[in-house]
Amino acid sequence: MDELVIEELLRDWTDSGLISPQQADGIRSFENARPTVHPGAMTASSEAVPTTSQATPEAQARIPIIGEALGYVGGALAFAALTAIVTQYWSDLGTAGQLLLAAVVSAACLTGGWLLSSLEPAQARRLGGFLLFTGTAAFGFFAGLAADATPLLDSGDLPWVVGAGGAFALGLGLWRSRTTSLQLVAVALALASFIAAVITEWTSHDQTVFIGASYLVVGIVWAILGEMQFIKPRTTAWAMGSLAVLSAPQIMSLEMWEHTGGYLLLGCFVSAALLGVALWLGRGGPLGFGAAGIVIYVPQLLYELFENTLGVPIALLVAGVLLVSMSAVVIVARPRLGRKSAQS
């Protein structure tokens, strides 16, 4: 490529915020060091006989896509069959049959997911990630069943604690080897379930308040660790942390539904904080969740304050205005966040 063309492209990309000046310098150095290949240097044989990857790229890509589609269809059929078994014949299987079925499903998903996720094609890795996600949940279900069949662990919510804890431990180990977004979601969901199970088992009062407060703290820590790259991928870490923080006030308000004003006010504050962090750090994840939180909590708070007067119309009016406003915020701020992330 001509040097003038390269310089013009690099200048446009840098001005648009797509790349940083340092990245432009790196691309420029790479292009300058690239050996010049003239069109006449190519031999007739190389022109006449292309390689397999050059000759049929569409054919090569079609086979993995078909295999991936068949995998998802097969998974959907298996899930439908398992749903029918669980809803209609679960009690007829007995404890041994239930454990065997759960173990087989868990082992099949985990084994297939592990093997597929180690392959080169992207389609195989996606299907493998999906199977690992499903296998993590299936293992948690199996661990809960096993605990329920154990005399010392079959009381109260202990099977739930064991199942959620087992899914979290397994999911964490798989995530360390397969650092994918879907596996990180599995870890986050298992942790949320484990927290809820522990609090439900060992507390008798204000359970939803404790669960919501725990989600608030864990969500903040999760987002910080994601920003520091201790939890990867960072975008998924921000999404799950923001979701935990945003859901915490709503969960806490369930315990005292008649007096939810304070929790809803906390929800408004958390939503505004997410928006501020998104604009400060240039992250798109908290921007979307913060905008959604404003739309969720502000109308509820207004309805709580004006319930017996114009609460419903005011809440609907404010919700509509906020939807338009937050969509404008996201549309305007998202490109700027992208440029800021590229420069950082």
Nearest to 283 by CA among 242, 232, 325, 313: 242
pLDDT at position 307, please?
66
Question: CB within 8 A of 198, min separation 6: which ones?
Answer: 161
pLDDT at position 231, please?
93
pLDDT at position 291, please?
82
Contact yes or no for 222/188 (Cβ under 8 A): yes
Whose tokens are 């004006």? That residue is 306
Q: Give the 3-state secondary structure of residue 180.
A: coil
Q: Which token pair is 2?
A: 């001509």
pTM for this structure? Answer: 0.71
**What is the chain's pLDDT, residue by residue, as a tens digit (344 residues)?**
567 677 778 777 776 667 777 777 778 777 777 765 554 444 444 444 444 444 455 544 454 667 677 777 877 777 777 778 778 888 888 889 889 988 998 999 999 999 988 887 777 888 889 999 999 999 999 999 999 988 888 778 899 999 999 999 999 999 999 889 999 999 999 999 999 999 998 887 778 889 999 999 999 999 999 999 899 899 899 999 999 999 998 898 876 655 566 788 888 899 889 988 888 887 877 888 888 888 888 777 777 777 656 556 666 676 677 767 766 666 666 565 555 555 55
pLDDT at position 173, please?
95
The 3-class SS string of 123-167 reads: HHHHHHHHHHHHHHHHHHHHHHHHHHCCHHHCCCCHHHHHHHHHH
Nearest to 299 by CA among 289, 313, 280, 281: 313
C-alpha neighbours within 13 Å on the C-beta side of residue 192: 21
Contact yes or no for 271/247 (Cβ under 8 A): no
Contact yes or no for 226/237 (Cβ under 8 A): yes
pLDDT at position 53, please?
45
